[in-house]
Structure 1
Amino acid sequence: MKNQDMLGGQSFIDKYRIGGTLPPNHPTYIERQADQDFYDNLKNGNFCYVFNSRQTGKSSLLLRTITKLQEEGIACAKIDLSEIGSHQTTLAEWYWGLIYILSVYFGVFTRPDYRNWRHEHEFLSPVQCLSEFLSQLLLTKKQKKIVIFIDEIDSILDLSFSADDFFALLRDCYNKRADNSAYNRLTFALLGVANPDELIQNKSRTPFNIGHSIDLQPFQLGQVLPLAEGLTAVSEHPQTLLKEIFQWTGGQPFLTQKLCQLVLDNLEKASCSQANISGQIEQLVETHILDKWEIRDEPLHLKTIRNRFLRHEQLKGKLLGLYQQVVQGKQIPVDGNLAHIELQLSGLVINQQGKLAVYNQIYATIFNQAWIDEEFAKLRPYSQAITAWLASNHQDNSQLLQGPALQEARTWAANQSLSDEDRHFLDASQEAEKQTLAKANQILSEAKQKAARRIRIGNIVLLVTSVIGIIIVVISIWSVKQQRRNIKTIDKKLKMMKIEGKKLLDGQINFYKKEFNEGKGQLKALKSAYILVQDLKDVTGDNSVSPPSSLKQIIDNIQERNQLQHKNSIINLAYSPDGERIATLGIDGSICLWDKRGKLIRDCWQGNEESRDNKIPSIPSIIFSANGDQIATIFEDGTAYLWNLEGQESPQKQAFPQDLPDTVTSIAFSQDGNLTTITDTQGKIYLWDKQGTFKSWKVYRGEYNKAQQKLEKNINKVFFTPDSQFITTFSDNRTLRLWDKQGNLKGELKGENFGSQDPQQVTINSLSIADIAFNLNTQKIVIYLYDAGNSIYSVLIQDIQKKSKRNRPQQITKSQNPVRSIALSKNGDKIALGASEGTISLWNLEGKQLHQWKADEEGVTDIVFSPDGKTIATVSIDGTAHLWDLTVEKDSEQEETLDELLMRSCEWLQDYLVTHQEEAENKEIISKCPAGSGGIVDVP
């Protein structure tokens, strides 16, 4: 057979391999397109990654590819990260474990030599040691091509420290190819069950998106037909047998091998005729896989899929809801959101021609609607009610929740990522309860009016009949008293209903307050609270009553002014120098321009039309020129463009100078508007003025040795000083430099400059520069740094040319969660931190926290101050931009009536409602907002 002849192995199949890694020459190994793609790319020196669900053949692909590459004379090493350690392993142990494994594979040095080399390099950080090992030992002693395979890459997520530096090192190895040909011989391949976006935790760093993604597809029927050879022992129609097996497994590698072996072990040639093959396979699957599957799941496979699917507590509901839609046959286009990625990584669902589909019939039978319902029942506190409501096609309103049951459900939902069905059910329950309250209030009001009429009639009867006699008078008096007692009873019931209704509304408002505090959306919470205020007003019938304290607290503490959205996700944004406009950059390359209140100024336009796959990726970014008449953009593939905004209906692309670098990493404009500078991945700085004078230079010169040069290449950011006379840069090696406009180095701050003789003080080896700012009044430089332990430090430098005039790193805060984004106010006196769990915190230079609030459920990826420092703009993981007002004055002591609270709510919601009128709920609120100072008017 073709598969085995290539490697010289035997082709006779007498036993199938269930689970584990197949030997390279095993007769049941099935080649797929991924085999050729993986081999060709690695042979040609391209970085690759294979990210897929478990038991799909990744490790077997790895081993076979190693064998083929070694036959070509290429040196290979395989590192299984799960064998090095996980959360109990220290950072140093982990890196030195990598170095040791590589030294053993490539025979770089003996164990004593290893110990000596380690001792000699202990002064370096662990990641620098690995870098030194690769450059000074491995590439020197091995003159042939080298491929390093890193398996179980998802194990990196269980480490107790950040592995961002490791991926930065891999990127650095890739970038060095441009001017060090030795690195063209070094290639990396990553394999595992991972989402590429998870690998680098700090979102302010360049994402790890280098290399080629290898698509490991299921077996196709034509590919697995060679497996039929092993089935000749039990049938004269082995290919027909294999086709029936394929109908059940859908080409899933593990299940295909397992079912083939079950056929060999359980069927006999005499009973396996072509006419009954289908029935025999069905019975075999039923008795050996489906029936009591949790007991028969050996080796583990189905449980692995289930456990992976259910591992995210907060995402579980959303995954179940999405999977339920797939099971029900809905056509769901595949996109890059977290739920879609996690669903595919579980192995239960695959991308089938751009749509989500259940992988195979075995999965569909086990993980069916009944299983979904069972898992939902474990998850939902209202499982029976929603099941009955869905079964009635949303018609049986008796199943909707009310009162304490609804409040309990809302409290539970606050910590969940809900499916669409759950959200619709809870929204319908809330709406039904509002209608019930309104109807009850109306009935009680009518009953009160009716009782009052009866009293009046009783008084008239008493007057007319008084002449009839004392007995009738007594009877009439008794009747009037009875009517009065009735009205008192009704009044009491009405008051009780109002109290209960207000309690219920208070409970709902408390729920929205909880969502507000947990980052579920401040504007959404205020909108919902506003509607509840209207309901409260209807129930009480009194405009002067004091509103619930929790509702007032929402409005007193809200900071979110507006939300900005592209057709696809936003990944970066910038303010114009005057603070009047905001530019946003989408993940698809689209660019939008807004006013400072969030109103779209002009139609969005497409930035980069073609992506250059062979380019080194950059962090996408957008920036205004000093006078705001231009926008500069950097896209993920490293391409950069200028856009003229003045006098054009559609912004026009303007070319950079002729010597534009191949991959741009950063752009800056001088304050005087005369100069523009850009940097690239090769450590080069480019500068030109409006007259066309052009200059470029490299950050390293003759005085730097090669060991230093290799760390200089990737310039992360470039800035002009406020007086436009100098340029500052900082690179991956944590070095800050000051240049004049002629390219002369005027000062620098390197690692040891931030350090201290005091061992208790932090050293630069554990710090990375996050951002810098200039104090416009004093011309001092403020540098913010972070370390792997999520601590944030500041360094105030009076003069970069005089190293003595600086302070040592001062810890501002230690975050409980990784800091994804950092921003400095324009004058450098405040810092805003966006954490991975969605918290934004505001600090001053002395390390005092000025404010903190929960902005998002999943995390903040970008954060920017407005020029006046009164607003912060952020980008969330879901791709939405948010505007936050920092000038809110808290005044929770002042009492307000319902009407006053409604007025204030409308004033705050004005920007959002006007710019999002496509939402029906917003139109309804606009129509209800009172006229006058609090009324809704169009955003100018």
Structure 2
Amino acid sequence: MSDYRYHVGGTLTSNAPSYVERRADRDLYAALKQGEFCYVLNSRQMGKSSLLVRTKSRLEQEGFRCTTIDMTNIGSEQVTPTQWYKGIVAELWAGFGLMEAFSLKAWWQQEEEVSLLQRLNRFILELLNRLPNDRLFIFIDEIDSILSLDFSVDDFFALIRYCYNQRAIYPIYQRITFAIFGAATPSDLIQDRSRTPFNIGQAIQLEGFQLHESQPLAAGLKLHEGDPLEVLKAILHWTGGQPFLTQKLCQLVVQISRERGTEALKIPPGAISFWVENLVQTHIIHQWEAQDEPEHLRTIRDRLLRNEQRAGKILGIYQQILKHYPIEADDSREHIELLLSGLVVKQGDRLQVKNPIYRAVFHREWVEKQLAALRPYSQSLEAWLAADRQDESRLLRGQALKDAQHWSQGKSLSAIDYQFLAASQEFDRQEMERTLEAARAKEMAGRLASEQRRLKQQKQTNTVLSLLLVGVTLKFGFFLWLWLSTVSQYRKAVANEVQAITQTAEIASASSPTLDTLMTLLWAEQRLQELSNTGNADPNLQQQVDAAFQKIVSSIAESDRTENTSSVLNGVSPDKQRLDSVDEAGAVKLWQLDGEAASQLEQTLAGHRDAVSAIAFSPDGQTLASASNDGTVKLWTIADGLVQTLESGGDRIDDVAFSPDGQILAALSEDRTITLWRHQENSFSLDRTLRGNNALAD
């Protein structure tokens, strides 16, 4: 046993006795011999580099020319594109033994006028021409180191694909073959999604050790009694054939034998499985972070947690795998990261934990601890899940929900996280609605009580007034009563009229708000102002009018413009004497009506620079307003034609309307701005502009 050595970490030599030949060895060797471009992409410490060395040695023994480019040797930090490409050329120059054949420095300077990619391509042709009788194999290792470069190397892999495709045109390219190794995926090689992906070559599947392939490992396991293969079988059960862990456990068996001073290990009959389990628990799993030398488990941990934006979702998926949920493998970045970490493998179309050691080290409690460090709401989430998502008291609300939503922005979370946050948001919304409803009910109760007190006080006041009036003469009292009654009825009639108009406007704002509705509401506001000037306006009614005004302005601003056009391009004047229309040139035509038919053209009104979009008659039928896409409103009279042009600010106008008393003119622009002009001294002047929630401008 003392002459046999296991290799824990690093690359095995081509003749290492503990090298396990797997199916990948045979597949890679056969494919390269056939001239296939190959790639071996898998998680770390799966034996990729050892496979490279072994295959390269076999090909060289058969007389083929081979070289290896280790991408970590070229560098990935603080390296320029020129240095990177020149480093590759230098590796090829030295690897194929051309240092004595020509000066690389002179060759590089000679090619300075072409791009870096062209220089590399020309150097490949230089190799093929200088080695005309040889087949060349280029092994590229640690390809994942390119992912940390601060510049794109998509062109490099596009060149490899180019060399493969050129075989059909130039036979010289059939003498060069590439093999790529690393912890990456084919989609990582060409990252620009607008370019053709790296879709050439044969993927070599590198799997864990199988018992029937692992006979070389059993040679180093010597037992005083029993079959070494039984020990190896127990080891493979715990490692799942993971090469690094398998070599490490075999080495631990040798180490324990040496510590006991025996050549052959003594294990009681029938206790091999228990003995290996104890070995795993004490030397691998227990306080694993301290015992993880050479580093392996910590590498997996760091890969899982290195991207804070994605770690939460990765751990969430792994948590579901631990709970034996059926997680089907897909091409998502989270699944790729789990596979490249080596923690899980694809069994059929589902993801499973690779081996019992990983399940024991990265267990549920470990995942929950990491998620708790990532999530600000971990305890609430776990309690909610434990209650089968029925305990609403565990959901977030208020500031806690806002903090969680802020934390989740820009992160890729698990489906459970999104479900919890969505449920919390819905619960918080419902709770806020209940609170607002209670507040509204309390406010209404307060208003009712206030109104009852006011009526009581009014009743008391009326009683006092009645007693005072008893002493007044019947005649004076009669006329006073008659006057008060008339005034009260007038005020009540005005108030009822205003309230009816306001309610109609509120209904219209919820369905099809128009400028005509807004104009009617403005007229009602003026009527209410007449009562306010005498100090008899109801403040609640004033608030109702103001609210309706704001609501209809917002509704007009937010609604689609085709739904708010109240004026028409063929309308009849209020006195039913005229009909307006618009011709194709955008001119307004007035027709004398004979019954309900237009019998005679009375006048043509032209002046807009663009098409007429809306027309409205004033209430007295003497003035016609025409709105246009040129952003203007023109006012016309039968006698004088054009009397005034009003500018709306440049946007096209979709609608125009007069107030019922004809004193206010309104225009609705395409950007949902409402412009009001008031009639003063025989002309209209700008009164105000409404935008959105009754926001006022000039």
Which residue does the alignment assign to 1:399?
Answer: 394
C-alpha contact 1:546 1:896 (8 A) present in aligned 2? no
Match of 2:273 among 271, 278, 283: 278
Distance 1:198 1:371, change over 3 A: same
Which amino acid is 1:56 matched to?
A: M
Between the aligned partners of 1:26 and 1:276, the Cα distance in structure 2 is 31
Structure 2 residue ranges without an equivalent (≥5): 462-546, 561-669, 675-688
C-alpha contact 1:233 1:264 (8 A) present in aligned 2? no
Between the aligned partners of 2:396 and 2:341, the Cα distance in structure 1 is 33
Match of 2:366 among 368, 371, 396: 371
CA shift for structure 1 position 149: 0.3
CA shift for structure 1 position 234: 5.9
Distance 1:97 1:270, change over 3 A: closer
Which residue does the alignment assign to 1:119?
Answer: 109
CA shift for structure 1 position 216: 0.8
Which amino acid is 1:355 matched to?
A: R
CA shift for structure 1 position 421: 1.1
Which residue does the alignment assign to 1:6?
Answer: none
CA shift for structure 1 position 108: 2.4
Which residue does the alignment assign to 1:358?
Answer: 353
Q: Secondary structure at the match of 1:356?
A: strand
Distance 1:423 1:72, change over 3 A: same
Between the aligned partners of 1:450 and 1:78, the Cα distance in structure 2 is 86
Which residue does the alignment assign to 1:299?
Answer: 294
Match of 1:412 among 407, 411, 420: 407
C-alpha contact 1:47 1:210 (8 A) present in aligned 2? yes
Which amino acid is 1:411 matched to?
A: H
Between the aligned partners of 2:279 and 2:320, the Cα distance in structure 1 is 29
CA shift for structure 1 position 332: 1.4
**Is the strand fraction higher in 1 or 2?**
1
Match of 1:440 among 435, 438, 454: 435
Which residue does the alignment assign to 2:237?
Answer: 247
CA shift for structure 1 position 186: 0.5
Alignment of 1:895 onto 2:691: yes
C-alpha contact 1:144 1:185 (8 A) present in aligned 2? yes
Between the aligned partners of 1:232 and 1:894, the Cα distance in structure 2 is 93
Which residue does the alignment assign to 1:73?
Answer: 63
Distance 1:317 1:14, change over 3 A: same
Which amino acid is 1:50 matched to?
A: V
C-alpha contact 1:13 1:229 (8 A) present in aligned 2? no
C-alpha contact 2:673 2:692 (8 A) present in aligned 1? no
Between the aligned partners of 1:294 and 1:206, the Cα distance in structure 2 is 43
C-alpha contact 2:141 2:181 (8 A) present in aligned 1? yes
Between the aligned partners of 1:317 and 1:130, the Cα distance in structure 2 is 42
Match of 2:219 among 229, 237, 245: 229
Q: What are the superposed Cα offsets for residues 264-286 of structure 1, whole Å, 9 maximum, x if unpaired? A: 21256564123222222222111
Between the aligned partners of 1:254 and 1:187, the Cα distance in structure 2 is 29
**TM-score, length basis structure 1:** 0.48
Alignment of 1:128 onto 2:118: yes
CA shift for structure 1 position 122: 2.0
Q: What are the superposed Cα offsets for residues 843-873 of structure 1, whole Å, 9 maximum, x if unpaired? A: xxxxxxxxxxxxxxxxxxxxxxxxxxxxxxx
Which amino acid is 1:421 matched to?
A: I
Which amino acid is 1:256 matched to?
A: T
Which residue does the alignment assign to 2:544?
Answer: none
Which amino acid is 2:153 matched to?
A: A
Between the aligned partners of 2:137 and 2:80, the Cα distance in structure 1 is 26
Q: What are the superposed Cα offsets for residues 165-186 of structure 1, whole Å, 9 maximum, x if unpaired? A: 2112111111111121111110
Between the aligned partners of 1:136 and 1:282, the Cα distance in structure 2 is 57
**Counterparts of residues 344-743 of structure 1 (less than 5 Å):** 344-451=339-446
CA shift for structure 1 position 424: 0.7
CA shift for structure 1 position 159: 2.1
Between the aligned partners of 1:340 and 1:326, the Cα distance in structure 2 is 11
C-alpha contact 2:128 2:172 (8 A) present in aligned 1? no
Between the aligned partners of 1:52 and 1:348, the Cα distance in structure 2 is 12
Q: Secondary structure at the match of 2:351?
A: strand
Which residue does the alignment assign to 1:182?
Answer: 172
Between the aligned partners of 1:210 and 1:385, the Cα distance in structure 2 is 49
Between the aligned partners of 1:274 and 1:462, the Cα distance in structure 2 is 105
Between the aligned partners of 2:313 and 2:64, the Cα distance in structure 1 is 46
C-alpha contact 1:246 1:256 (8 A) present in aligned 2? yes
C-alpha contact 2:223 2:266 (8 A) present in aligned 1? no
Alignment of 1:106 onto 2:96: yes
Match of 1:258 among 248, 252, 265: 248
Distance 1:465 1:103, change over 3 A: closer
Match of 2:152 among 139, 154, 162: 162
CA shift for structure 1 position 111: 7.8
Q: What are the superposed Cα offsets for residues 18-52 of structure 1, whole Å, 9 maximum, x if unpaired? A: 01111112121112111111111111000011111
Which residue does the alignment assign to 2:520?
Answer: none
Between the aligned partners of 1:240 and 1:434, the Cα distance in structure 2 is 62
CA shift for structure 1 position 450: 4.4
C-alpha contact 1:77 1:147 (8 A) present in aligned 2? yes
| RMSD, matched Cα | 3.2
C-alpha contact 1:30 1:223 (8 A) present in aligned 2? yes
Q: What are the superposed Cα offsets for residues 681-709 of structure 1, whole Å, 9 maximum, x if unpaired? A: xxxxxxxxxxxxxxxxxxxxxxxxxxxxx
**TM-score, length basis structure 2:** 0.64
CA shift for structure 1 position 303: 0.8
Alignment of 1:39 onto 2:29: yes
CA shift for structure 1 position 405: 1.2
Between the aligned partners of 1:410 and 1:310, the Cα distance in structure 2 is 21
Distance 1:147 1:385, change over 3 A: same
Which residue does the alignment assign to 1:171?
Answer: 161
Between the aligned partners of 1:80 and 1:315, the Cα distance in structure 2 is 29
Distance 1:304 1:889, change over 3 A: farther
CA shift for structure 1 position 452: 5.3
Which amino acid is 1:135 matched to?
A: L
Between the aligned partners of 1:544 and 1:213, the Cα distance in structure 2 is 70
CA shift for structure 1 position 236: 2.2
Q: Secondary structure at the match of 2:109?
A: helix
Q: Secondary structure at the match of 2:413?
A: coil
Alignment of 1:321 onto 2:117: no
Distance 1:163 1:280, change over 3 A: same
CA shift for structure 1 position 225: 4.2
Q: Report the structure number with the largest CA radius of gyration.
A: 2
CA shift for structure 1 position 124: 2.2
Q: Secondary structure at the match of 2:217?
A: helix
Between the aligned partners of 1:40 and 1:894, the Cα distance in structure 2 is 79
CA shift for structure 1 position 226: 4.0
Between the aligned partners of 1:406 and 1:318, the Cα distance in structure 2 is 19
Distance 1:894 1:99, change over 3 A: farther
Match of 1:334 among 329, 335, 338: 329
CA shift for structure 1 position 326: 0.9
Between the aligned partners of 1:894 and 1:252, the Cα distance in structure 2 is 72
